[in-house]
With several copies, the nearest count.
Chain A
Amino acid sequence: MSEAEPDPLERAIEATLFAAEAPMTVDALAAHLGDAAPGDVRAALATLTARYGPRGVHLVERGGRWHFETAPDLAHLLRREKEQVRRLSRAATEVLAIIAYHEPVSRAEIESIRGVQTSAGTLDVLMEAGWVKPAGRREVPGRPVIYATTPEFLDHFGLASRRDLSGIDELRAAGLLDPVDEAMEAAMRFDPDEPDEAESDDEDPS
């Protein structure tokens, strides 16, 4: 079958992550395994990830925490009975995306992007799902609460980190994550007389 003698640390990590009720960080794993060095744990995780790559169960990292999950291509086998995922309204979906791509972001900033008021329930739904949390206040007049995503958000959407958000780097490079006022200033400085011919088209954000 597989190689002759599996590494004891790999076995221990396999067992621990299989049994764990929540994803675990490298440090939590190392601590749980007693005297394991985080570097060794990291190396073993990399080996295991590759090992489980072709299998029906995968080892994945989400927001710095590791867990096993079923292979995405087998979703059809499992989905029919187990559909348990929360359906979000279109507004909640958009607000979640805006928070994820802009975080930390205030409610007013969310509303200025969407062009409409955000109903009180929308943020509550996202916070109740555990995907969004208040992350302090912006030090401007009124000190508005700002929001950010949580490790559970990364976990749920299969993101290793926010850098995995599709297109985030391109959007940032294109200035599409900057406020309109800032973009206006930049555009006006760039070529105030021909606003329609703004920066050259190097990237399609879609």
Chain B
Amino acid sequence: MSEADQPFMFPPEASRPDSDALYLELGAWEGPLDLLLDLARRQKVDLRQISILALVDQYLTYIERAGAMKLELAADYLVMAAWLAYLKSAMLLPKEEQEDPSPEELALRLQLRLQRLGAMREAAGRLMGRDRIGRDVFLRGSPEGLRTDRKTVWRSDLFSLIQAYGQVKARTAPRIYHVANRPVMTLDSALERVAAMLGVTLEWMEIRDFLPPHASPELKRSALASSFVAALELAKRGRAELEQEAAFAPLRIRRLKDGTGQGLGA
């Protein structure tokens, strides 16, 4: 349980018999409170019954002797010494001359602080004396280790599947239908058609006569536009000529006699 080398375990008085040993430990204390606690321990009484006056005397003696030995003392030890000297003189005064807070209160406060520090120091010693992992008890040297593999189980259903497919189709289908529902005559087919029909005669023909006779109104509009462009194209190539008597009058077209029109119908 106890470890002799733990500095806070306060071994029996025998191991620190004289005050000369005390001076050798200068620097072993963590501040004046620590030194005071050590001195209080040497009174071998419960910290609650400690004689503060005796403690003050011991502290002042210690500081004096350290000074005589020309040991370097940290400032806070000297501050504590001054404060304790004041406390001592105040405690020796008659009660009615005491100020507030009374020296008794100051002494009590010091005593309470020493009790608290003492309690924690002992607690620390007991804590370190417990069965510690890696010193007193040991864990398994080479545990196999646990592993949890997370696995996702996916879930869906037939309705979602078909619905998703329907949505894909609905999203992409319109492009197909719009084209199919809008009949058009392409420029290429109009060119072919107009050129072929021009090959039949040298007479003027109205452009309306080139349109497919049984076509739907939509197709007729498309055919008219395409045939018009086709007529312009043939005129540009020098294979046909166009005439129109007035604005919005019927547009007429005729094969050019000396053109290469013969080949057009072939």
Given contacts A128-B152, A184-B179, contact A97 B164 (CB under 8 A): yes
Chain A interface size, as a band, is 35 or more
A171 vs B123: C-alpha distance when bound (angstroms):
10
B123: contacting residue among A71, A91, A167, CB under 8 A: A167
Q: Which segment of B138-146, B195-203, B249-257 sits at the interface? A: B138-146
A158–B120 CB distance below 8 A: no
Report chain A residues within 8 Å CB of B164: 90, 93-94, 96-97
B169 within 8 A of A: yes
A85–B146 CB distance below 8 A: no
B8–A93 CB distance below 8 A: yes
Report chain A residues within 8 Å CB of B140: 18-19, 68
B212–A192 CB distance below 8 A: yes
A177 vs B140: C-alpha distance when bound (angstroms):
37
Residue of A nearest to B154 (CB): A129
Given contacts A69-B144, A96-B127, contact A88 B108 (CB under 8 A): no
A79–B135 CB distance below 8 A: yes
Minimum Cβ distance to chain A for residue B259 (Å): 26
Residue of A nearest to B33 (CB): A115
Report chain B residues within 8 Å CB of A51: none
Q: Which segment of B14-22, B184-192, B230-238 sits at the interface? A: B184-192
A170 vs B265: C-alpha distance when bound (angstroms):
46
Report chain B residues within 8 Å CB of A190: 179-180, 183-184
B34–A156 CB distance below 8 A: no
A100 vs B57: C-alpha distance when bound (angstroms):
34
B24 within 8 A of A: no
Given contacts A115-B171, A184-B108, A205-B122, contact A21 B212 (CB under 8 A): no
A157–B158 CB distance below 8 A: yes
B151: contacting residue among A70, A84, A159, A166, CB under 8 A: A84
Residue of A nearest to B157 (CB): A157
A125: contacting residue among B6, B154, B179, CB under 8 A: B154
Minimum Cβ distance to chain B for residue A197 (Å): 9
A198 vs B105: C-alpha distance when bound (angstroms):
12
A155 within 8 A of B: yes
Report chain B residues within 8 Å CB of A159: 130, 158
Please provide the chain A residues from 95 to 121 with a CB less than 8 Å away from any CB of chain B in the complex. Answer: 96-98, 100-101, 113-116
Minimum Cβ distance to chain B for residue A163 (Å): 14
Report chain B residues within 8 Å CB of A97: 120-121, 123-124, 127, 161-162, 164-165, 168
Report chain B residues within 8 Å CB of A175: 176
Q: Which segment of B62-70, B81-89, B111-119, B239-247 sits at the interface? A: B111-119
Minimum Cβ distance to chain A for residue B168 (Å): 5
Q: Mark A168-206, 1 if CB is under 8 A from B, else 0.
A: 000100011000100110011010110110100100111
Please provide the chain A residues from 6 to 53 with a CB less than 8 Å away from any CB of chain B in the complex. Answer: 15-16, 18-22, 32
A143 within 8 A of B: no
B123–A180 CB distance below 8 A: no
A75 vs B183: C-alpha distance when bound (angstroms):
72
B161–A116 CB distance below 8 A: no
B38 within 8 A of A: no
A86–B109 CB distance below 8 A: no
Minimum Cβ distance to chain A for residue B50 (Å): 9
A87 vs B233: C-alpha distance when bound (angstroms):
61
B130–A157 CB distance below 8 A: yes
B136 within 8 A of A: yes
A140 within 8 A of B: no
A100–B180 CB distance below 8 A: no
A residues with a Cβ closer than 8 A to B are 15-16, 18-22, 32, 58, 67-72, 75, 77-88, 90-91, 93-94, 96-98, 100-101, 113-116, 125, 128-129, 131, 155-159, 165-167, 171, 175-176, 180, 183-184, 187-188, 190, 192-193, 195-196, 198, 201, 204-206
The 24 sampled A-B contact pairs (Cβ below 8 Å) are: A18-B143, A19-B141, A19-B145, A20-B145, A21-B142, A72-B136, A79-B147, A79-B149, A81-B148, A82-B151, A84-B150, A84-B152, A96-B161, A101-B123, A114-B171, A157-B131, A157-B157, A171-B165, A175-B176, A180-B112, A184-B112, A192-B186, A196-B104, A201-B46
Known: A85-B132, A88-B154, A94-B164; 5 extra A-B contacts, CB below 8 A, are: A19-B141, A69-B138, A79-B149, A167-B165, A176-B173
